């Protein structure tokens, strides 16, 4: 039986004392690997909350260099890093905050050639990718390998969240058979909006891993952060879904 170290017991004391959490849930986090894609305002902030919660291993995937216009929302970044690969800074910041987390930083975008090996290494995937090409690749790979995926997306002041369990819940393609128009262009975003969604995304992963609370299975949380109208819609499995339809 694995036991937590004195440092771990101290660092995570305030969450271990949560009803229904305990050392058992902490150990589940410690032995889990989470794949985070699109490590930006959304994925980077979700990775931060997974790191402080004590996830054992994070696989961070994001290509490109840091731009100054990322700085209004990418809280793992620092001004002196503008122009350099953002994934390296993400790893450095997370390691400074929690040195016990094993972090693999991959300076790539999600592609058809790397998606299977990425998904297979992880217990759960956070889809914080920036376009539906990457989102569709992740969804199909998670369905193919029967891996849970937390799906988080934003459009301006609106945010969407659901958790996909292949074979049990609808998949992303069931929910969005046609790609939203807003995917095709950049949109305005406040860091507090991407950060709000990021916290909920990290929380979904923690719930799935530990069994705490009730994740958004077969439900889509729709949030308008401008008006603070939140709604939770039941989602339906599409039996003719080209991705998961043959499974049920
Ligand atoms: Zn489907």
Instruction: Concatenate the DSSP letters of all residues of 29-83 into one string.
Output: HHT-EEEEESTTTTHHHHHHHHHHHT-SEEEEE--SB--GGGTTT-TT--GGGTT
pLDDT at 248: 47
Find where tokens 């009730």 sit.
214
Cα distances from 182 to residues 114, 138, 154, 156, in angstroms, run: 26, 19, 9, 9
Ligand 1 center–CA 248 separation, angstroms: 10
Q: How far apart are CA 55 and CA 127, in angstroms?
A: 17
Q: How many CB atoms lie within 10 A of CB 176?
A: 17
Q: How far apart are CA 58 and CA 35, in angstroms?
A: 6
The helix/strand/coil state of 228 is coil
Ligand 1 center–CA 146 separation, angstroms: 12
pLDDT at 178: 79
Ligand 1 center–CA 236 separation, angstroms: 9
pLDDT at 69: 95
Task: Return the domain boundaries, the chain.
Answer: 32-234
Q: Is the dihedral of CA 134, 135, 141, 145 positive or negative?
A: positive
What single DSSP character describes residue 88? H
pLDDT at 183: 59
Cα distances from 214 to residues 43, 120, 163, 208, in angstroms, run: 22, 25, 11, 8
Find where tokens 């997306």 sit.
153
Q: How far apart are CA 14 and CA 138, in angstroms?
A: 34
pLDDT at 96: 98
Q: Could you say which residues of the chain have pLDDT below 70?
A: 1, 180-185, 246-248
Q: How far apart are CA 75 and CA 160, in angstroms?
A: 21
> Phi, psi (5° rounding) for residue 102?
-85, 125
Ligand 1 center–CA 113 separation, angstroms: 22
Ligand 1 center–CA 57 separation, angstroms: 28
Q: How far apart are CA 201 and CA 189, in angstroms?
A: 17
Ligand 1 center–CA 165 separation, angstroms: 11
Ligand 1 center–CA 24 separation, angstroms: 33
Decide: 172 and 127 in contact? Cβ < 8 Å.
yes
Tokens at residue 241, please?
């879904």
């Amino acid at each position: 039986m694995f036991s937590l170290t004195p440092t771990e017991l101290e660092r995570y004391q305030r969450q271990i004392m949560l009803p229904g959490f305990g050392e058992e849930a902490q150990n589940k986090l410690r032995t889990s690997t989470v794949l985070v894609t699109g490590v930006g305002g959304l994925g980077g902030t979700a990775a931060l909350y997974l790191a402080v919660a004590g996830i054992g291993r994070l696989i961070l995937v994001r290509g490109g260099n840091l731009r100054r216009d990322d700085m209004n929302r990418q809280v793992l970044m620092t001004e002196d890093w503008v122009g350099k690969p953002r994934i390296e800074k993400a790893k450095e910041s997370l390691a400074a905050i929690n040195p016990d987390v094993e972090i693999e930083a991959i300076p790539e975008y999600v592609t058809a050639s790397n998606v299977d090996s990425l998904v297979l290494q992880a217990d759960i995937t956070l889809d914080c990718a920036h376009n539906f090409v990457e989102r569709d690749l992740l969804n199909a790979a998670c369905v193919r390998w029967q891996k849970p995926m937390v799906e988080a997306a934003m459009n301006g002041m609106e945010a969407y969240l659901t958790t996909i369990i292949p074979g049990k819940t609808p998949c992303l393609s069931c929910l969005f058979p046609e790609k939203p128009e807003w995917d095709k262009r950049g949109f305005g975003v406040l860091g507090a909006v991407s950060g709000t969604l990021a916290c909920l995304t990290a929380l979904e992963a923690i719930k799935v891993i530990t069994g705490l609370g009730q994740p958004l299975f077969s439900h889509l949380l729709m949030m308008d952060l401008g008006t603070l109208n939140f709604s939770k819609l039941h989602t339906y499995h599409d039996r003719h879904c080209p991705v998961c339809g043959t499974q049920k």
